[in-house]
Amino acid sequence: MDLRQLRHFLAVAEELHFGRAAEKLGMTQPPLSQSIRALETDLGAPLFARTRRSVALTPFGADFLPHVRRAVGGVDALSETAEQLRGGAAGRLELSFVSTADYSVLPALVQGFRARFPGVDLSLTEMTSDMQIAALAQGRGQAGILIPHGDDPLPEVLAYRRLLVEPLVAAVPESWCASGRLPPGRGPLPPEAVVDKPLIVFPRRAAPLFHDLVTGFYTAQGVRPQVAQHAIQMQTIISLVSAGMGIALVPQSLRNLARAGVAYRDLAGEAPLLETGIAWRREDAAPTLRNFLALVAEGGAAV
């Protein structure tokens, strides 16, 4: 059987009259009758009960009809599906992100993209910056929201666009403010009140720029940081602060991560500025990626 025969069957099943069905199909009745007989031969069962005065579906034909409608409808929908895939309204987009982005640019981007392209399967994976860069360079994933590697250039195969620049703030145990270990209140903390405290920080391999910004703040005060713990998840860092293990210098947007026992304090003076951006392979021409980058260019990542 072929698609043409199935369309012929649908026309006759809908009209229950070979003459009207032939007219609907723009053909004469004899070749339509021949097509139906050939289809019945292929199927090994009659589709219609014919008399001189009437045409009716056989029980087999009635049971076969909904399957044919679905099959032909699926074929008819392929052209629309292809158009959606070409335009990026359907398909898949694989996006990775650093944990800090979950509290700044990521929610607005995801909400905006899903609202505009609900037919796209958006796959999200949390991943450190170093792992994102390696994966993208090796052809895995399509785009990554990451913290750039400072003076270390990205691989040549990757393009990059800045999304956000924000100051670092101090995440501190609330108990330290109450006990006098830190100045009380919610005001800015002077550098000298910060740099002599145990520090919880990202390991340098995971986010060199972030790590160097934090340790550079200490170096500028002539102090070597007392690293109490490394952690690669921002939620883990804040949990360790809540437990009183030390303080952390985190992006300002982390204020959106409320945690009992943690206070966020501005840094007095000029606080270090952290950049977050998006990277993708220059040669990736996927329509879904093109649409995502267009959303970013329109300000879809505004926070």
206 band by pLDDT with thresholds 50, 70 and 90: confident
Mean pLDDT over the full length of the chain: 92
User: Is residue 141 within 8 Å of 92, Cβ to Cβ?
Assistant: no
Q: What is the pTM of this model?
A: 0.77
- For the chain, the domains span 3-87, 92-303
Residue 97's pLDDT is 96
Q: Do domains 3-87 and 92-303 have the same CATH topology?
A: no
What pLDDT, in 10s, does the model give residues 1-43?
899 999 999 999 999 999 999 999 999 999 999 999 999 999 9
Residue 302's pLDDT is 43
CA distance 25 to 2: 16
What pLDDT, in 10s, does the model give residues 219-268?
999 999 999 999 988 899 999 999 999 999 999 999 999 899 999 999 99
157 phi and psi, to 5 degrees? -75, -10
Instruction: List C-alpha distances in Å: 71 to 145, 268, 286.
Output: 41, 68, 29
CA distance 166 to 169: 9
List the single range of 39-48, 84-93, 249-258, 294-303 with lowest mean pLDDT.
294-303
301 band by pLDDT with thresholds 50, 70 and 90: very low
Identify the residue whose tokens are 């505004």.
302
Residue 155's pLDDT is 93
What are the structure tokens assigned to 6, written together? 């199935």
Stronger pLDDT, 207 or 172, i.e. the higher one: 172
Residue 53's pLDDT is 87
Residue 300's pLDDT is 58
Q: What ranges in the chain are assigned the alpha helix state H? A: 3-15, 18-25, 29-43, 59-87, 106-116, 129-137, 174-179, 191-194, 208-220, 234-242, 287-297
CA distance 73 to 51: 30
What pLDDT, in 10s, does the model give residues 133-169?
999 999 999 999 999 877 778 999 999 999 999 999 9
Residue 303's pLDDT is 39
Q: What whole-number percentage of the chain has pLDDT above 70?
A: 98
Q: Which CATH number applies to 3-87?
A: 1.10.10.10
* Mean predicted confidence (pLDDT) in 122-128: 95
Domain 92-303 has CATH 3.40.190.10: no
What are the structure tokens assigned to 38, written together? 């050939």
Residue 186's pLDDT is 86
